[in-house]
């Protein structure tokens, strides 16, 4: 398995954290130098991607393009599978058995979400029972893109999907909402989840975050600036009601272990 961790070269504290986290379980990995915002915007425009500042900050575009560059690298190197992580994750117990080989992955799957993020998730049928975890089809939105496995076919398909979509949204929405809707048999969730971001883990443990994120600050600022108001807000909330009801009835918790 080819494991990559997206990280800015300047984020020494995060890199030390990742090195320690993977070394604990003797899991090989490589850092992938994250694309900077200035270069990311240029790359996105060259690819013909439509960027709207109401939907993505410069930092979010950089994050988006870093993932896309890794997808392209997987295609160029003809890698059967790659695992993509962000640099603020913690790994679960016995992660090595899933991150040092890929024979356990059913061939038809394109994307396997490894991360615990959305509090409750709608899962479909079990795809495959594993030694200490299980694979289930993902049937509802499960945001976050800090840890996932991508097959070669999945990399090609996702890249084409993004390039042909009429606008660019945050990466996790593109993969685990929009792409999922069009490819329901290609996306799975590992249960229990194998990784979790520090911010999400600390919500559970009620601890303070040590790995500060400028991207998170940017995102909060954008959401505050472009927050829906008045009738637009009411319309948005009404549109969410069917999804909220569906999740209430069918969603289940995906724990990190």
Query: What's the mean pLDDT in 84-91?
Result: 97
Which residues are CB-contacts of 230 (< 8 A; sequence separation ≥ 6)? none
Model pLDDT, residue 204: 67
pLDDT tens per residue, range 232-242: 445 444 445 44
Model pLDDT, residue 229: 52
Query: What's the mean pLDDT in 6-35?
Result: 97
Please measure the distance between the N-terminal and C-terminal CA atoms of the chain and give it in whole angstroms.
Answer: 21
pLDDT tens per residue, range 203-221: 866 666 667 665 566 655 5
Query: 131 or 25: whose pLDDT is higher?
Result: 25
Query: 207 or 91: whose pLDDT is higher?
Result: 91
Would you say residue 78 has pLDDT above 90?
Answer: yes
Q: Is 199 helix (H, G, I), strand (E, B) or coil?
A: helix
Partners of 135 in the β-ladder: 128, 190
Partners of 2 in the β-ladder: 82
Would you say residue 73 has pLDDT above 90?
Answer: yes
Q: Taking Cα atoms as reference points, which of 151, 165, 167 lies closest to residue 74?
A: 151
Model pLDDT, residue 232: 47
Query: What's the mean pLDDT in 64-71?
Result: 97
Retrieve residue 211's tokens.
Answer: 């790995």
The band of 51, judged by pLDDT with boundaries at 50, 70 and 90, is confident
Which residues are CB-contacts of 220 (< 8 A; sequence separation ≥ 6)? none
CA–CA distance, 182 with 161 (Å, rounded to integer): 10
On the 0-12 / 13-18 / 19+ scale of CB atoms within 10 A, 55 is middle
Query: What's the mean pLDDT in 102-109?
Result: 94
Domain ranges of the chain: 2-253
Q: For strands 120-121 and 252-253, give the pairing.
A: antiparallel
Model pLDDT, residue 220: 58
Model pLDDT, residue 231: 47
Sign (positive or negative) of CA dihedral 11, 16, 17, 22? positive
Topology, domain 2-253: Spore Coat Polysaccharide Biosynthesis Protein SpsA; Chain A (3.90.550)
Model pLDDT, residue 222: 53
- Do 87 and 6 contact (CB within 8 A), yes or no? yes
Determine phi and psi for 126, rounding to 5 degrees.
Answer: -70, 130
């Amino acid at each position: 398995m080819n494991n990559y961790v997206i990280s800015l070269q300047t984020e020494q504290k995060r890199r030390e954290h990742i090195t320690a986290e993977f070394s604990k379980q003797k899991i090989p990995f490589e850092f992938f130098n994250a694309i900077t915002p200035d270069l990311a915007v240029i790359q996105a425009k060259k690819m013909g991607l439509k960027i709207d500042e109401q939907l993505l900050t410069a930092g979010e575009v950089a994050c988006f393009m870093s993932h896309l560059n890794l997808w392209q690298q997987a295609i160029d190197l003809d890698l059967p599978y790659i695992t993509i992580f962000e640099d603020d994750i913690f790994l679960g117990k016995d992660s090595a058995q899933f991150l040092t080989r890929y024979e356990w992955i059913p061939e038809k799957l394109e994307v396997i979400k490894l991360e615990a993020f959305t509090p409750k998730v709608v899962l479909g049928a079990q795809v495959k029972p594993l030694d200490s975890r299980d694979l289930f089809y993902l049937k509802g939105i499960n945001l976050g893109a800090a840890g996932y496995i991508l097959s070669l076919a999945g990399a090609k398909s996702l890249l084409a999907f993004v390039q042909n979509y009429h606008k660019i949204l945050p990466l996790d929405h593109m993969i685990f909402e929009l792409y999922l809707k069009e490819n329901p048999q290609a996306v799975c969730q590992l249960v229990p989840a194998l990784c979790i971001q520090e911010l999400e883990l600390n919500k559970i443990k009620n601890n303070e975050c040590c790995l500060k994120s400028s991207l998170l600050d940017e995102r909060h600022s954008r959401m505050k600036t472009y927050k829906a108001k008045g009738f637009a807000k009411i319309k948005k909330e009404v549109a969410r009601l069917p999804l909220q009801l569906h999740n209430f009835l069918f969603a289940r918790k995906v724990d990190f272990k």
